[in-house]
Amino acid sequence: MEITDSLRFLKQVKKIRQELKYNRENFWSKNKGNFRNNLKTLASFFPAPEGWTLSIIASTFLLDRGEIMPYDKDVWSFVDVVSGTEAQGHEIIVFFNKTDLEFLSAPALLPIVIHEMRHVYQIPQDTKNSILSTIDDELNRELEKDADAEVRNFNDEFRKENVIEKVLFCFDKKGWSGAKKMVDYLYKESKDAFGGGYDQEMTKAEYEAFSEASEEKDIDIFIDFFIKTDHSEKDSETKEKLD
């Protein structure tokens, strides 16, 4: 995906922030219904590496427990090598976990897709290290840093959209306690999760905006922070002029 390809999704952010304030029930339902098509559309910007077959799965784990939330540890997605020799063929699999993703809009899904597809392209570059990273924490951290660096090449509003949608989804499902668990994970835990190497997903300013909203028991304070700091429209117009 090129930066210019992402502009069509960046242009959606301003409207989405308003939906998040005034019509979230319909927003979550719409995203769930569109999840398959949104994911297919985003993935279409990332062709399979030359000489490799790429299979994409979107599903959930079969877990003997109750409702799973995005802040739980059982919601991870992954990329893996199915086979990587001439005799066995060259095939890569990508698994997107619906529990963590299907309520998200296309702009909020984009950072996840970019991250995972960067892992896809790491495999042909160094297949052995990609496989070894599953048993080598230091190597794994390097590959995760590389994947998050690719995400940073795109507009930060995509990261912000992922943050606000995850927090508000948990708020609507589990109230302030659920939202707080999501915020704590994004701000305090995600950087070191699963062996580490990730960027911090939530900024200090965003965390403080949630803390103020929680103290005042007014989630609109949190939403308004993202509306006021939204540069998506300006950034998309600037990029189009430059191109």
Over residues 51-107, the pLDDT tens digits come to 999 999 999 887 767 788 999 988 889 999 999 999 999 999 999 999 889 999 999
Q: Enter the tokens of residue 54.
A: 């790429």
pLDDT band at 243 (very low <50, low <70, confident <90, very high): low
pLDDT at res. 63: 72
170 and 181 in contact (C-beta within 8 Å)? yes
Average pLDDT, integer, range 1-26: 95
Per the prediction, the chain carries an average pLDDT of 93
Average pLDDT, integer, range 128-137: 94
Q: Which residues contact 217 (CB under 8 A, 6 or more apart)?
A: 176
Strands (E) located in the chain: 53-59, 78-85, 89-97
Closest CA to 162 of 2, 20, 4: 20
Cα 156 versus chain centre, distance: 12
- 155-183 burial by CB neighbour count: b if 16+ within 10 A, else e? bebbbbbbbbbbbbbbbbebeeebbbbbb
- Could you give the 3-state DSSP secondary structure of residue 91? strand
Amino acid at 212: E
Q: Enter the tokens of residue 104.
A: 């998200």
pLDDT of residue 241 exceeding 90: no
137 and 173 in contact (C-beta within 8 Å)? no
Q: Measured between alpha carbons, how far is residue 214 from residues 160, 178, 199, 231 in Å? A: 19, 12, 25, 25
pLDDT of residue 131 exceeding 80: yes
Helix crossing, 106-125 with 156-184: angle to 10°? 100
pLDDT band at 176 (very low <50, low <70, confident <90, very high): very high
CA quadruple 47, 48, 50, 51: dihedral positive or negative? negative
